[in-house]
């Protein structure tokens, strides 16, 4: 299996590592890396389908699960930079109904940093309920927080996108989907979208679900934040291949892109807020990404986490291949990953259709490719 695309000579080791992956544990995938505003790695290969009848091409896109959160966070940062949102203001300033049930003190940055106490939905809830964005978002506004807001981090696995998406609608008037398309993707020419437009379904690679989760949800204490989040609603990898999910707006989990598209968009953050002559953010707003919102054991995934403003921060146990410094990142179920490294002016992304089995993350493959890239530096 050979990779398609290009690498600068110094980064041939990334191609070598990627081709090893295509011969072993990949089905179809893409890898891209931008260094100081220049794309030095743009690779893709393998197949779009499990039967290996359709090649993964330059234009193939795929659901990137929670890597979507980096795009949604960028939307909020842009609106904050325009003065339409104050990250330190209560959510209810813009969304009065959210002040119900003891949430009047929840700040916008609490949602951005996974400390709001609204990390999931009260039961009963299913994945299909989330497709009705208005109704499911109203449910979040009505419910009580599951812990004291601002006191601890608890991964907002699916709820974060609905919460932030409602803020976009309240202050801008457009849906999160339209804002991403019109104010983020289009100006930078980035192949990134929430959900997938029906005219693009022919180039979407269906995801291949992993095996069972490496833990049994039924053994967890149903009163814990972890259980309530992981079952409210329970993750369903198969759902993202359905027309209903592709038509939906799930700002935490149903973005569609490839590595090149994500790098084209997120390198604006790496490069101080602007790329290709388009300024999305001021340097002061870029700095706010690295304001630590939570640092300690996460109430949902149990791991030590450092949450910044919409991004994970390093160092982090789950991704030891990431360097310390001004590095912001996040990834998705099955292994997709975005890394924004301001110290080294590196932006990296990896997307794939065959999900890894490392729980809700599992970044082994991305880690191999990124390690090869850092060694090349």
pLDDT of residue 235: 85
Please tell me the total number of residues recorded for the chain in this structure.
Answer: 377
User: What mean pLDDT comes out for the span 190-203?
Assistant: 98
Confidence class of residue 359 from pLDDT cuts 50, 70 and 90?
low
Beta bridge partners of 305: 296
Q: What are phi and psi of 127, to 5 degrees?
A: -60, -40
pLDDT at 358 over 80: no
Name the residue among 160, 191, 159 with its Cα closest to residue 62: 191
The structure tokens 């989990």 sit at 253
Q: Residue 257's pLDDT band (boundaries 50, 70, 90)?
A: very high
Which range has the worst mean pLDDT, 149-153, 193-197, 207-211, 274-278? 207-211
Range of the domain at 50: 4-214+223-376
66 is an active site residue: yes
The burial class, CB within 10 Å (0-12 / 13-18 / 19+), for 357 is: middle
d(CA 376, CA 330) in angstroms, rounded, equals: 22
Alpha helices in the chain (DSSP H): 12-23, 68-81, 108-112, 133-142, 159-172, 176-179, 186-188, 225-230, 243-247, 259-270, 283-288, 364-376
Number of domains in the chain: 1
Reported as a single tens digit per residue, the pLDDT across 10-31 is 999 999 999 999 999 999 999 9
Percent of the chain with pLDDT over 90: 93
- At 134-191, the pLDDT tens digits run 999 999 999 999 999 999 999 999 999 999 999 999 999 999 999 999 999 999 999 9
CA distance 160 to 309: 12
Query: Which two three-digit tokens encode residue 375?
Result: 């060694």
- pLDDT class for 361, splitting at 50, 70, 90? low
- CATH assignment of the domain containing 337: 3.40.710.10
Confidence (pLDDT) at 280? 98
- In angstroms, how far apart are the furthest CA atoms of the chain? 58
Tens-digit pLDDT profile for residues 218-237: 788 999 999 999 999 998 99
Question: What distance in Å separates the CA atoms of residue 173 and residue 177, rounded to the nearest whole number?
Answer: 12
When pLDDT is averaged across residues 61-83 and rounded to a whole number, the result is 98
pLDDT tens per residue, range 289-339? 999 999 999 999 999 999 999 999 999 888 899 999 999 999 999 999 999
Residues 6 or more apart whose Cβ sits within 8 Å of residue 116: 91, 103, 106, 110, 145, 149, 150, 156, 163
Three-state DSSP state, 37: coil
Q: What's residue 105's pLDDT?
A: 98
**Mean pLDDT of all residues belonging to the chain:** 96
Q: What is the pLDDT of residue 357?
A: 76
What value does the mean pLDDT take over residues 344-365? 87
Spatial CB neighbours of 331, under 8 Å, sequence gap ≥ 6: 66, 67, 319, 337, 338, 361, 363, 366
DSSP 8-state symbol, 337: E
CB atoms within 10 A of CB 105: 16
Worst-scoring range by mean pLDDT, 164-168, 208-212, 244-248?
A: 208-212
Cα 74 from Cα 62, distance rounded (Å): 20
Catalytic residue among 30, 66, 136, 257: 66
């Amino acid at each position: 299996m050979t990779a398609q695309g290009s690498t600068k000579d110094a980064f041939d080791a990334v191609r070598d590592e990627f081709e090893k992956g295509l011969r072993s544990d990949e089905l179809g995938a893409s890898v891209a890396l931008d260094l100081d505003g220049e794309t030095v790695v743009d690779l893709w290969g393998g197949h779009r389908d499990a039967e290996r009848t359709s090649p993964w091409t330059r234009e193939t896109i795929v659901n990137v699960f929670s890597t979507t959160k980096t795009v949604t966070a960028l939307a909020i940062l842009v609106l904050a930079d325009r003065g339409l949102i104050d990250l330190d203001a209560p959510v209810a300033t813009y969304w009065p109904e959210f002040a119900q049930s003891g949430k009047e003190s929840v700040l916008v940055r609490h949602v951005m940093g996974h400390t709001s106490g609204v990390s999931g939905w009260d039961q009963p809830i299913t994945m299909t309920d989330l497709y009705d964005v208005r109704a499911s978002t109203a449910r979040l506004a009505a419910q009580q927080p599951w812990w004291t807001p601002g006191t601890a981090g608890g991964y907002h696995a699916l709820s974060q996108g609905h919460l932030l998406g409602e803020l976009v609608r309240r202050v801008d008037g457009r849906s999160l989907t339209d804002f991403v398309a019109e104010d983020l993707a289009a100006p930078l020419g980035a192949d990134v979208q929430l959900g997938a437009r029906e005219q693009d379904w022919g180039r979407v690679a269906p995801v291949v679900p992993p095996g069972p989760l490496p833990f049994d949800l039924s053994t967890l204490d149903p009163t814990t934040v972890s259980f309530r989040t992981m079952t409210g609603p329970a993750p369903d990898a198969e759902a993202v291949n359905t027309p209903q999910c592709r038509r939906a707006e799930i700002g935490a989990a149903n973005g569609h892109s490839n590595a090149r598209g994500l790098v084209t968009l997120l390198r604006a953050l790496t490069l101080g807020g602007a790329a290709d002559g388009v300024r999305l953010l001021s340097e002061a707003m870029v700095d706010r990404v690295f304001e630590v919102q939570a640092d300690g054991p996460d109430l949902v995934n149990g791991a030590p986490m450092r949450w910044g403003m919409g991004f994970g921060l390093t160092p982090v146990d789950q991704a030891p291949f990431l360097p310390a410094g001004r590095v912001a990142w996040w990834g998705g179920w099955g292994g997709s990953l975005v890394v924004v490294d301001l110290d080294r002016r590196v932006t990296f992304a990896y997307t794939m259709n065959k999900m890894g089995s490392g729980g809700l993350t599992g970044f082994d493959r991305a880690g191999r490719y990124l390690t090869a890239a850092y060694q090349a530096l």
